[in-house]
Structure 1
């Protein structure tokens, strides 16, 4: 008999696996709607949507394995990382979806959110002031005009599956929509800087490395307190706080 595996669970959402089916339960129905829409539009391999009802989405499991996870060892050949870069480029070159995604927040909104979060990190003693200040300076390079692309919005390496050097699918599309393509590339390589060149080689386009570094800092600054508050360890080796320290 299949067992129920809790893949992830916190106050906002939970994902369960039963055999080859994943059940995603989300307090925000809009995220489920966005995921279903993005899967239907994305020109890259995705899970199959089996059904969806209010607050629950059922999708199929993907074959293959991921390239690793944030804070853990990375696997896969340079060719595999390049293959992932090529698939990301295919997504970014696709016709724009109708809605804006997580990577599509305006620079004004991001700057205000970032300044407030930096103040909270220091005021509450979560991170040292010099670490926050330095990374806020690095993050500034991401706050610039960009051309919208079809972005995933949460393209962690744990969301991309491969069989050997072939991408078999990308999961977790709830943050997808129009956005800054370099946000996706930065999220995918967060904590695995050693593979950035391979990903860019597969992506096959000019990439501003300063902006990638900026998104590493910006994304980490914005997520540390949320992660800590939801039971995740942003201070674990190789995770967000180490990403911030690497910019010092």
Structure 2
């Protein structure tokens, strides 16, 4: 008999694995609505939807392994990273989804709020926050919107035999900055950026990617702490911020 494994669980959502089936339970069904529609529109491999009965979405397991895990060396080959870059480029070149993403004013306001909290709470030194807020400014520039995944963590891209077999967790897909996806995928794995870009196949603004590394880490820190995760683990968000000093 297959065991029930808890993949992730916090106050907003949970994902359970039973054999080759993943059950996603979300308190906000609009997240699941976006996930289902984004997977239907995306021109890249995505999990098969087995059934949906709110608040549960059942998905088939994607073959292969994730590109890696934050805080650990990636076991994937340079060719696998290049394949991931090519898949992400296909997504970014696809027609835009019909719903918008966050605007720069909202992102900037949230960033500044989180920076204030990081300093006032004593979570991080003020000079570290200030430096990364300066680096983040390179990401806060208007760019032509693309179809983005919106949460393209390294654990969300699966590969096998140096090919992408599936990209998971689409609830934050939207119109947005393509460089945000590239930065999210290489967060904590900066050494893999050249391999990713070899497959992506176009020049990118490296300062903006560094800006997104800082911005994502600054914005995520409080949420991670409050939901039982540790951004101060080796190779994780706080190390990403320290690398900018």
TM-score for both structures, normalised by structure 2: 0.99
**Residue of structure 1 equivalent to 2:51:** 51
Residue 33 of structure 1 deviates from its aligned partner by 0.5
SS of the equivalent of 1:137 reads: helix
**Corresponding residue to 2:105 among 89, 93, 108:** 108
Residue 108 of structure 1 deviates from its aligned partner by 1.0
Residue 52 of structure 1 deviates from its aligned partner by 1.3
Of 116-125 and 47-56, more deviation after overlay is shown by 47-56
Distance 2:10 2:98 in 1: 29
In structure 1, stretches of 5+ residues that fail to align are none
**Residue of structure 2 equivalent to 1:168:** 165
Residue 205 of structure 1 deviates from its aligned partner by 1.0
**Residue of structure 2 equivalent to 1:194:** 191
- Alignment size in residue pairs: 245
Matches within 5 A, 1:198-213: 198-213=195-210
Residue 170 of structure 1 deviates from its aligned partner by 0.3
**Corresponding residue to 1:131 among 128, 149, 174:** 128
**Residue of structure 2 equivalent to 1:13:** 13
**Corresponding residue to 1:120 among 108, 117, 123:** 117
Distance 1:131 1:202 in 2: 33
Distance 1:73 1:233 in 2: 18
**Structure 1 runs (4+) greater than 4 angstroms displaced:** none
Distance 1:53 1:183 in 2: 32
Distance 1:13 1:124 in 2: 26
**Residue of structure 2 equivalent to 1:180:** 177
Residue 107 of structure 1 deviates from its aligned partner by 1.2
> C-alpha root-mean-square deviation of aligned residues, in Å?
0.7
Cα pair 1:76 1:164 within 8 Å, conserved: no
Q: Does 1:74 align with 2:74?
A: yes
In structure 2, stretches of 5+ residues that fail to align are none
